[in-house]
Amino acid sequence: MKYEFWLVVGSQFLYGNEVLETVDRRSSEIAARLSEVLPYKVVYKVTAKTNREVTDTVREANYRPECAGIITWCHTFSPSKMWIDGLRDLNKPWCHLATQYNVEIPNEEIDMDFMNLNQAAHGDREHGFIGARLRKPRKVIAGHWTDARVHKRLGDWMKSAVGAAVSRDMKVMRFGDNMREVAVTEGDKVEAQIKLGWQVNTWAVGDLVAEMDKVTEAQIDELVETYKASYDIATDNIEAIRYQAKEEIAIRNMMDREGCKAFSNTFQDLYGMEQLPGLASQHLMAQGYGYGGEGDWKVSALTAIMKAMGEGGNGSSAFMEDYTYHLVEGQEYSLGAHMLEVCPSLAAGRPRIETHHLGIGMNAKDPARLVFEGKEGDGIVASLIDMGGRLRLIVQDIRCVKPIMPMPNLPVARVMWRAMPDLLTGVECWITAGGAHHTVLSYDVTAEMMRDWANIMDIEFVHISKDTTPERLEDELLVKDLVWKLK
Ligand code: MN
């Protein structure tokens, strides 16, 4: 889907045609300029002067799948009663861009004509009131429309809005149920569909095995060539790589046929398969599909959504699991990995394909997997949990480092990071909030983007940052528990 955003400008008839023509011309200019610098196109739709113009535009925005959200702005004063019906019906993300055409107040030229034409400062306040009065989720961004800081924030909001569109269209293919007895990977699939739009359904592992049997040697040859172009082959066990290619082709065929963008499986249910998909799941994630291990459909769908919210619509985001800590004072780090399945979009260098024995689960043969170190840089980890009656999204800021030791016998991809505000306080906060061991780790989706996404989806959001203390977090969780029971 080629997404776009609609610019809807507020005004009224009071100022006469000349002013309205100027507003219309400037709005076109602003949309054209923003389209050049933002990740998605901005289409100027209308300078609305009546209730009917607002409602007609909103209804069309709701109906058009390519419209991922609306951006409103009041160049002049736009009385807000005429916006009530439209905004009440709006079901697309909404950003209120509080900007104005000029940067400076023109000292010599300013007169009452100028004031009448350029009055966003009070037009946008009237517009803000009705958003607040309607309790409508919206993003408010203030600043000049040529300012790079505005472009960054508006661009990030657009990506969150696209994440909402991807979420509402999300279908997850499950092979097998959740890992036995695990609590945090469970959840209310009906609630997830109502709130987030996710269609989560199951397919038999036997269906996947039958699909694998249809994969031809020529198809496998072609995919192995693709692997060779992206990864170094560091094993003599070519058969294991070919087996992963067969798994990947079969999983992808089944997902594409059903329109699924994410899948989950479990090492406890691999009947008829020789290897847990490792390289197969990793290379599918590299192509933008979501994945969750141990039947974790929540993290799988969130991985696909956060990938779509990232750079170029398939960013550096991946299914991740906190494994073990380095607790030396002054050198405290988390080591994240998974049994096999870490997306190579996190890799600092060129990943290697290796084969190793895997003791957990039913693996008749050693599975092939990509092994690499994660990049240095700022990032986040995100976890979606079911609190019973509502979903809570927890996001923690992290700083990823080059792993401080080579760990030559660790047969999986690894990422090392320090959680904010520091590792131990960060762990205390994460555990207090109920965050899972499974997360989506991202280098290019920010906490603010996830907050905006959670607001659009109307779910609880908890952010653990450099400023978080366990005491304040406990108070925040207590208040949110009450608020979300009332909502
Ligand atoms: Mn796991």
Q: Give the model confidence (pLDDT) of 136-176 as tens digits.
A: 999 999 999 999 999 999 999 999 999 999 999 999 999 99
**Cα end-to-end span (Å), the chain:** 33
- Do 426 and 326 share a structural domain? yes
- Do 47 and 184 share a structural domain? no
Given a cut of 80, whether residue 364 has pLDDT beyond it is no
Tokens of residue 335, six digits: 């080591």
Half-sphere exposure in the Cβ direction for 464 (13 Å, CA): 34
- Do 225 and 116 share a structural domain? no
| Strand (E) or helix (H) holding 161 | helix 148-168
Could you tell me the distance, in angstroms and rounded to a whole number, from the CA of residue 306 to the centre of ligand 1? 19
- Do 404 and 441 share a structural domain? yes
Could you tell me the distance, in angstroms and rounded to a whole number, from the CA of residue 267 to the centre of ligand 1? 10
Residue entry with tokens 């054209």: 32
**pLDDT confidence tier of residue 434, bands split at 50, 70 and 90:** very high
**432 vs 333: CA distance, rounded Å:** 19
Could you tell me the distance, in angstroms and rounded to a whole number, from the CA of residue 437 to the centre of ligand 1? 7
**103 vs 105: CA distance, rounded Å:** 7
Average model confidence (pLDDT) for the chain?
97
Could you tell me the distance, in angstroms and rounded to a whole number, from the CA of residue 151 to the centre of ligand 1? 38
CA-only gyration radius of the chain, Å? 25
DSSP 200-228: EEEE-HHHHHHHHHT--HHHHHHHHHHHH
What single-letter DSSP state applies at residue 350?
-
**123 vs 281: CA distance, rounded Å:** 51
Domain end position, chosen among 147, 168, 189: 168
Given a cut of 80, whether residue 363 has pLDDT beyond it is no
Could you tell me the distance, in angstroms and rounded to a whole number, from the CA of residue 398 to the centre of ligand 1? 20
Which residues fall within 8 angstroms of residue 290, CB to CB, at 6 or more apart?
A: 172, 261, 262, 263, 299, 300, 301, 302, 303, 304, 305, 307, 319
How many separate domains does the chain show? 2
Could you tell me the distance, in angstroms and rounded to a whole number, from the CA of residue 152 to the centre of ligand 1? 34
Q: Which of 323, 315, 421, 330 is nearest to 375 (CA)?
A: 315
Could you tell me the distance, in angstroms and rounded to a whole number, from the CA of residue 362 to the centre of ligand 1? 15
User: pLDDT for 54-83, tens place per residue?
Assistant: 999 999 999 999 999 999 999 999 999 999
Tokens of residue 375, six digits: 């990049």
Q: What crossing angle do the helices spanning 470-486 and 423-433 adopt, rounded to 10°?
A: 20
Domain end position, chosen among 133, 168, 203: 168
Q: What is the pLDDT of residue 487?
A: 84
Could you tell me the distance, in angstroms and rounded to a whole number, from the CA of residue 350 to the centre of ligand 1? 24
- Do 178 and 153 share a structural domain? no
- Do 364 and 347 share a structural domain? yes
Given a cut of 80, whether residue 268 has pLDDT beyond it is yes
**54 vs 444: CA distance, rounded Å:** 35
Domain end position, chosen among 168, 199, 221: 168
Could you tell me the distance, in angstroms and rounded to a whole number, from the CA of residue 367 to the centre of ligand 1? 16
Could you tell me the distance, in angstroms and rounded to a whole number, from the CA of residue 340 to the centre of ligand 1? 9
**pLDDT confidence tier of residue 259, bands split at 50, 70 and 90:** very high
Could you tell me the distance, in angstroms and rounded to a whole number, from the CA of residue 293 to the centre of ligand 1? 5
Could you tell me the distance, in angstroms and rounded to a whole number, from the CA of residue 338 to the centre of ligand 1? 6
Could you tell me the distance, in angstroms and rounded to a whole number, from the CA of residue 179 to the centre of ligand 1? 9
Angle CA(476)–CA(478)–CA(482) in degrees, nearest 5?
115
* φ and ψ at residue 361, rounded to 5 degrees: 80, -170
Could you tell me the distance, in angstroms and rounded to a whole number, from the CA of residue 177 to the centre of ligand 1? 14
- Do 157 and 209 share a structural domain? no
Could you tell me the distance, in angstroms and rounded to a whole number, from the CA of residue 334 to the centre of ligand 1? 15
Could you tell me the distance, in angstroms and rounded to a whole number, from the CA of residue 126 to the centre of ligand 1? 50
DSSP 54-99: HHHHHHHHHH-TTEEEEEEE-SS---GGGGHHHHHH--S-EEEEE-
User: pLDDT for 405-427, tens place per residue?
Assistant: 999 999 999 999 999 999 999 99
Given a cut of 70, whether residue 447 has pLDDT beyond it is yes
Could you tell me the distance, in angstroms and rounded to a whole number, from the CA of residue 462 to the centre of ligand 1? 22
Could you tell me the distance, in angstroms and rounded to a whole number, from the CA of residue 412 to the centre of ligand 1? 13
User: pLDDT for 188-199, tens place per residue?
Assistant: 999 999 999 999
Tokens of residue 225, six digits: 């060539």
- Percent of the chain exceeding pLDDT 90 equals 97
Q: What crossing angle do the helices spanning 447-457 and 297-309 adopt, rounded to 10°?
A: 120
- Do 181 and 156 share a structural domain? no
Q: Buried (b) or exposed (e) across 248-257, using 16+ Cβ within 10 A? A: bbbbbbbbee
Q: What is the pLDDT of residue 1?
A: 87
- Taking a C-beta distance cutoff of 8 angstroms, is the pair 137, 112 a contact? no
Q: Residue 2 to residues 29, 39, 95, 313, 316: CA-CA distances in angstroms?
A: 22, 11, 19, 11, 20
Could you tell me the distance, in angstroms and rounded to a whole number, from the CA of residue 337 to the centre of ligand 1? 9
Could you tell me the distance, in angstroms and rounded to a whole number, from the CA of residue 406 to the centre of ligand 1? 22
Could you tell me the distance, in angstroms and rounded to a whole number, from the CA of residue 469 to the centre of ligand 1? 28
Provide the sign of the torsion angle of the four alpha carbons 424, 426, 429, 435, taken in this order: negative
Could you tell me the distance, in angstroms and rounded to a whole number, from the CA of residue 430 to the centre of ligand 1? 17
Q: What is the pLDDT of residue 358?
A: 87
Q: What is the pLDDT of residue 359?
A: 79
- Do 366 and 322 share a structural domain? yes
- Taking a C-beta distance cutoff of 8 angstroms, is the pair 370, 352 a contact? yes
Could you tell me the distance, in angstroms and rounded to a whole number, from the CA of residue 321 to the centre of ligand 1? 6
Could you tell me the distance, in angstroms and rounded to a whole number, from the CA of residue 323 to the centre of ligand 1? 9
Tokens of residue 91, six digits: 């079901």
Could you tell me the distance, in angstroms and rounded to a whole number, from the CA of residue 346 to the centre of ligand 1? 17
Could you tell me the distance, in angstroms and rounded to a whole number, from the CA of residue 351 to the centre of ligand 1? 21
Q: Which of 405, 412, 410, 406 is nearest to 353 (CA)?
A: 412
Q: What is the pLDDT of residue 362?
A: 65
Could you tell me the distance, in angstroms and rounded to a whole number, from the CA of residue 144 to the centre of ligand 1? 46
The mean pLDDT of 360-383, rounded to a whole number, is 91
Given a cut of 70, whether residue 333 has pLDDT beyond it is yes
- Do 280 and 202 share a structural domain? yes
User: pLDDT for 298-332, tens place per residue?
Assistant: 999 999 999 999 999 999 999 999 999 999 999 99
Half-sphere exposure in the Cβ direction for 418 (13 Å, CA): 17
Tell me the residue range of the domain where 68 lies.
4-168
- Do 183 and 119 share a structural domain? no
- Do 293 and 260 share a structural domain? yes
Given a cut of 80, whether residue 361 has pLDDT beyond it is no
Task: Write the CATH number for 70.
Answer: 3.40.50.10940
Tokens of residue 304, six digits: 């696909």
- Taking a C-beta distance cutoff of 8 angstroms, is the pair 393, 450 a contact? yes
Could you tell me the distance, in angstroms and rounded to a whole number, from the CA of residue 294 to the centre of ligand 1? 6
- Taking a C-beta distance cutoff of 8 angstroms, is the pair 137, 92 a contact? no
Could you tell me the distance, in angstroms and rounded to a whole number, from the CA of residue 483 to the centre of ligand 1? 32
Q: What's the pTM value of the predicted model, to 2 decimals?
A: 0.97
Tokens of residue 214, six digits: 């249809």
